[in-house]
Chain A
Amino acid sequence: MKLKWKLLLVFVVVLVLCTASFAADRRIVVGFAQIGSESDWRVGSTNSVRQACADAGFELIFVDANQMQENQLSALRDFITRGVDYIGFSPVVMTGWDQIMMEIKDAGIPVIMLDRNIDMPNHTDYYATWIGSNFVEEGEKSALWLLDYLGIHGRWGEEINIVELQGTVGSSPAIDRKTGFENIIKDHPNLKITQSQTGDFTTELGKTVMESFLRRAQSDGVKIDVLYAHNDGMAIGAIQAIKEAGLVPGKDIIIIGVDAVKLAFEAILAGEMNVTVECSPLLGPQFVQAIKDIEAGETLDKITFSIEHVYDETLSKLMPHRYLSAEEHYPSRVY
């Protein structure tokens, strides 16, 4: 008897956690299979899609897969049985989608890929379009900004030591942002990456790894001139490490971040960070536009890059056509 009550208690707790709601209305129905809510960026992307769909009057069936491919597979299968009109999809991994993509194609449901892509033979036949960021270009933009910045400050041709905080090992943003950055600096032998380690896209590791970069540089007697962090979170962790080592972030060490999250804008306005290259999660409007275009019978390009800017407080004053002011755009940041 006692055990029964305890079991009942557990069930009640679980039930309360699992509340679900269903809406019934005949509108355009969009199924969206999201990866999860692992970062501010991802949450921003989810909210943007939700908002844009609500504004357009679409009915959105949203599934958070909690980083599991199985969950995404069953969500997609569920979308087919429910007979949704469109599917939005950010795959958690690149492979393993062959079977389900064929089923979706047979069901005649157009798929719009968001921010991540799939890897299968003739994969472009299976989706209407892919909307997302160009990670390689983000790396290139970071390096180009650095070249401009050094030029303006009369440090052109100077020996510059760069340390790099990489993203999660093997993830496509980490690989591409590294590649893009190296594409540009390889033509400039005075720019050298002296240390490079993963900070796993987290603030805490960004700080820990930067501390060790600084100690190593000190024991070798070399100066660190630039930090290139694959995301803003790691840059913010590194800024703390630099301050605690008695250096001035943003002055003694030039700090470059990627993502353009609100926290990075705050750091730039405080003068502790120099630049952030946007990687916008606000793909909702473009997602909705793609659906409207298909409704109107248009054929879409297979790749649609999102529009992204570079924000800082120095070069934007001198080259407003290339760089945007962080101060001006700070109030409108939503993520």
Chain B
Amino acid sequence: MKILKKIVSSSMFSPLLALFLILLFNLVIQPNFLSVEIRDGRLVGNLIAILNRSVPVMLLAIGMTLVIATGGTDLSVGSVLAVASAVSISLIRGGDVNPTADTAMPLIWVVLITMLVGIALGLWNGFLVAKIGMPPVVATLILMVAGRGLTQNITRERSLTTGHLPFGEIANGFTWGIPNQCWIALAVFLLFWYFSRRTAFGLFVESVGANRSAANHAGIRAAVIIVVVYALSGLCASIAGILSASNVRVIEPMNTGQNMELDAIVAVVLGGTSMRGGKFNLGGSCIGAIILMALTQTMYFYGVPVEFALSIKAVVIVIVVIVQSPVTHKFIRREASAQ
């Protein structure tokens, strides 16, 4: 009984339950939805696709979780993703010459420079929020709009493509039968998890989110923590941008990353992190991103007409959020103790 109680009260329980229910629904309606097979030494199937395609939103959500934990939001991640895509593709093209030619710049440099650009954009957000004292929504909204403009400047307002094969392999390749994207997401998650749970950093983030002035009085330099989390969010967005560019080998300045900040925020909320700041749940956010993609792939698989798909998705999300809200939990606990 005690173990059961512990499982139910775990912060991972409700996001996992929601994901389980979506997969169960599929299992009942169409048993082969969940079948995974091995083709040419690679795992293929809906489950793998859900995991693989949820990676960009998952990365954004990991960065977003820390930002939200400090009581902020980062609306610019979609635009930062687009900037990063544009930067990486222009670098790999080596200017604007020949899209299929091997770049003069080694791949590792392209990746590192793009990540630095992401960090720089994140630092700008952090600077506006922590030092200037702008409300996070306003501060990041500036970059959300300006980032699109920057992307258009980098790409000269047109779609850029690349035929560089190793660059395409970053997102499309497989390692030990699993898509590379999944390994990258796992690595980023483990890094973030380690630094936020095995060092004092996570504690600082939570205390800044719970009460900034109390944290300041306790000797935590809240401004520094805030700048760091926005920079980390920019870093995550830039990694997602590289993956997105590598996936389709094209950057569409106005489409790439469009509305993804909203998906990332929904993923964080689905994962059980409160928008008010304080406690956060990195694993939950990842599950949240997987839930979103599982819903989308389910709609695709059953050919739900386009007109209904978005509404159904909205309804399911509302249900999941209600199920795991603290109010519902309190209600269930009261009912349970009354019996």
Contact = CB atoms under 8 A, between A and B. Distances in A.
B23 interface: no
Interface stretch (B67-75, B201-209, B222-230, B252-260): B252-260
Interface in A1-51: 3, 6-7, 10, 17, 36-40, 43
A335 B305 CA distance: 32
A22 to B, nearest CB: 21
A301 interface: no
Contacts of B247: 204, 207
Interface in A49-98: none
A108 to B, nearest CB: 35
Interface string B8-33: 00000000000000000000001011
Contacts of B332: none
A211 B49 contact: yes
B271 to A, nearest CB: 22
B306 interface: yes
* Count class of interface residues, chain A: 35 or more
Interface string B129-161: 001100000000000001001001000011101
B255 A202 contact: yes
B300 interface: yes
B172 A204 contact: no
A197 B254 contact: no
B325 interface: no
A335 B158 CA distance: 8
Of B45, B53, B300, most A-chain CB atoms within 10 Å: B300
B165 interface: no
Contact of B132 (A10, A36, A211, A233): A10
A204 B244 contact: yes
A196 B306 contact: yes
B46 interface: yes
Contacts of A7: 132
A204 B248 contact: yes
B176 to A, nearest CB: 18
Interface in B231-278: 244, 247-250, 252-256, 258
A37 B248 contact: no
Interface in A155-201: 166, 169, 195-198, 200-201
A294 interface: no
A202 B244 CA distance: 12
Contact of A166 (B255, B258, B306): B306
A211 B45 CA distance: 10
Interface in B63-122: none
B335 interface: no
Contact of B301 (A215, A240, A263): A215
A211 B52 CA distance: 12
Contact of A237 (B248, B253, B306): B248
Contacts of A39: 252, 254-255
A304 interface: no
B180 interface: no
Interface in B28-49: 30, 32-33, 35, 39-40, 44-46, 49
Given A38-B254, A216-B300, A263 B132 contact: no
A62 B32 CA distance: 55
A204 B256 contact: yes
A40 B248 contact: no
A273 to B, nearest CB: 14
A212 B161 contact: no
B196 interface: no
Contact of B46 (A6, A215, A244): A215
Of B35, B157, B159, most A-chain CB atoms within 10 Å: B159
A206 to B, nearest CB: 8
A252 B252 CA distance: 28
A41 to B, nearest CB: 10
Contact of B146 (A17, A38, A207): A17
A37 B254 CA distance: 7
Interface string A277-296: 00000000000000000000
Contacts of B219: none
Nearest to B245: A204
Contacts of A203: 159, 248, 250, 252, 255
A255 to B, nearest CB: 16
A331 to B, nearest CB: 16
Contacts of B305: 196
A208 B152 CA distance: 24
Contacts of A211: 49, 53
B310 interface: yes
B158 to A, nearest CB: 5
Of A7, A166, A211, most B-chain CB atoms within 10 Å: A211
Contacts of B157: 37, 40, 43
B132 A208 contact: no
A213 B247 CA distance: 18
Contacts of A332: none
Interface string B293-309: 00001011101011101
Nearest to A237: B248
6 contacts: A37-B152, A166-B306, A202-B258, A204-B247, A209-B300, A335-B158
Interface of A: 3, 6-7, 10, 17, 36-40, 43, 166, 169, 195-198, 200-204, 207-209, 211-213, 215-216, 219, 233, 236-237, 240, 244, 246, 261, 263, 335
Given A6-B131, A39-B255, A201-B255, 9 more contacts: A10-B132, A40-B159, A169-B310, A197-B300, A209-B300, A212-B49, A216-B301, A233-B252, A237-B248
